[in-house]
Structure 1
């Protein structure tokens, strides 16, 4: 289990996009045709269409015909409408955040919002779930092929070809979303991204439940030394179905069915929190608020309320404060060790930096 401020030179952004030797994002004509084919599959017929304040389009599609169910392993999957094994300790009041883009307009009953796709440290305890509060910012990228965000990462911790991963967080990610807004994102893979996995619902897998809260939605960023924006994220394995479900700001967004992981994701053995950037060239983009952790809360980005489950359906408990911190570019980004604030807030750590010649 660890906290990280990481740069990356081989970050998988979309399975059909490749990086050439100059670091530019390119796709071939054949890949472009295949992408168009996949987009037709992803963009299901809509009962209703919602356009958000930031210009995103979400189609309200039949919950039983959402693109994730096209996955061959989910051919006979029955969509779970509720989770009977949801822990009592997490039945709390939702944080701020009203549906799509904050205006409280949702999809009709029986449908769910699907974002319309366009071109484009190890732990010795089994972990069944994690929850945290992410301080949200909108880092300014220096080029459209960069990425900067905050992430919670769970994995089996196995070898390269067998690692199952579920991660969720926020990021400014133009290679995926084709804009400079801050998005809620999620990612999964059953073989360390070798042949499976993708962001959000860009491939079949994640099953949407919520009529209002969708992956890929945007959030406003916090203001330096001003108003702060937060999202509360929870990922947990349902004690009865065995599926891994996602809640954001108290709302059940959806879940990753256990079938996706072929029985290889019984528990998480590795959990990480922190900031992560991608840049194929110098200079590197800012991370978090763009300011170092030494400036304190309200100015530096942070993650708080870090708790986890050590039993399926069990209570969430505070993290062990003896975590490992990894910083691979300390002159560009840094991270503080966790400190305990209160029973409500729990442990908190700060991270980020301005980037530059890293």
Structure 2
């Protein structure tokens, strides 16, 4: 009897340990019916199958430090992690046919920072032009908001780097997006988008390209609500001085920065060594009927910083890999529909407020 009781205790203990290990290191995590992440060997992730990356050696961490703002704002993510893969593995999106099809559809509509006029797209942002470059990155803290977006619309806010020659462009973007058709729900997601050699490229890891390094934070995932402070993300796109790879990084104030992963330099023929343009941008894609969705927090910006969607602490990584505040550059303002959206720079406190409600009269 004693032996039987001990056996039961041992079995129970093993089960508890295994259950805890399963929760801590899942083989897969299901976010919704369309979004499932598998924990895969970092050296066997699908992006390494890209023809341009056949001889690529994974860079496990960048060789730079992220510039942090002097003003330690309370705007930061403090939320539950959705995923925690085991050591040596990384979360990779499992692509369904429907998800890939939707991603390809929206990739064709995705706004290029080199095209001011784009059918059905409206923008509000600022950029530094080529004659002040070259550039090696941009970093910014941006407020994050929930929006009521229909299934045939999209709204997003991002930082970006890129270069363009004639009809050829290379660019990278990362930020947040609400796009029910792409993600399968109306939540606000972090995302990345790239366009490289021969115009190829796509969202996140839907096609080979982006190298995932973090085992806990994919490039694209629903953005959690903080326990305190504003809902915001502080993100960077930075080119590594040694490798030339373009890293996506979440900057933290009191803990080490989170290196999500990178876009290898081999994917690009115009930004392999630097970029000609950097900027911050809010953008929307209207429905085929012509109705435009809300941007930012869905309200026109005011002089009151806390009432508006905002992008702040923007810094540009210059030709010497030094970070400079964006207000030290001459900037081009981008606003194509002041009927529905607004843009208000607040240079004294280094904040850009933007956004608007959208509607039926925003123009094409």
Using the size of structure 1 for normalisation, the TM-score is: 0.76
Equivalent-residue separation in structure 2 for 1:252 and 1:75 (angstroms): 23
Preserved contact between residue 157 and residue 268 of structure 1 (Cα < 8 Å): no
Preserved contact between residue 210 and residue 264 of structure 2 (Cα < 8 Å): yes
Provide the residue aligned with 1:72 in structure 2.
51
Structure 2 matches for 1:322-333, cutoff 5 A? 322-333=330-341
Equivalent-residue separation in structure 2 for 1:207 and 1:327 (angstroms): 33
Structure with more of its chain in helix, by fraction: 2
Describe the SS at the equivalent of 2:52: helix
Provide the residue aligned with 2:354 in structure 1.
351
Summarize deviations over 1:19-73 as a string: whole Å, max 9, x none: xxxxxxxxxxxxxxxxxxxxxxxxxxx9711235999432111101111111011
Provide the residue aligned with 2:161 in structure 1.
154
> Are 1:58 and 2:37 counterparts?
yes
Provide the residue aligned with 2:310 in structure 1.
302
Describe the SS at the equivalent of 2:340: coil
Describe the SS at the equivalent of 2:267: helix
TM-superposed CA distance for 1:123, in Å, is 3.3
Provide the residue aligned with 2:183 in structure 1.
177
Preserved contact between residue 160 and residue 280 of structure 2 (Cα < 8 Å): yes
Equivalent-residue separation in structure 1 for 2:130 and 2:351 (angstroms): 19
Preserved contact between residue 88 and residue 315 of structure 1 (Cα < 8 Å): no
Provide the residue aligned with 1:214 in structure 2.
218
Provide the residue aligned with 1:200 in structure 2.
204
TM-superposed CA distance for 1:104, in Å, is 6.7
> Are 1:117 and 2:119 counterparts?
no
Provide the residue aligned with 1:10 in structure 2.
none
Describe the SS at the equivalent of 2:305: coil
Using the size of structure 2 for normalisation, the TM-score is: 0.75
Summarize deviations over 1:243-266 as a string: whole Å, max 9, x none: 111102320000011111146432
Q: Which runs of 5+ in 2 are unaligned?
A: 1-24, 100-126, 252-256
Describe the SS at the equivalent of 1:156: strand
TM-superposed CA distance for 1:117, in Å, is 2.6
Summarize deviations over 1:258-286 as a string: whole Å, max 9, x none: 11114643211112212100013232111
Q: Which runs of 5+ in 1 are unaligned?
A: 1-45, 342-346
Provide the residue aligned with 1:135 in structure 2.
143
TM-superposed CA distance for 1:325, in Å, is 1.2
Greater Rg over alpha carbons, structure: 2
Equivalent-residue separation in structure 2 for 1:155 and 1:64 (angstroms): 28
Structure 2 matches for 1:1-358, cutoff 5 A? 48-52=27-31, 56-84=35-63, 86-87=64-65, 89=67, 96-97=76-77, 102-103=80-81, 105-118=83-96, 119-120=98-99, 121=127, 122-124=129-131, 125-141=133-149, 143-161=150-168, 163-191=169-197, 195-220=199-224, 228-249=230-251, 250-262=257-269, 264-279=271-286, 280-294=288-302, 296-311=304-319, 314-319=321-326, 320=328, 322-341=330-349, 347-357=350-360, 358=362
**Alignment RMSD:** 2.8
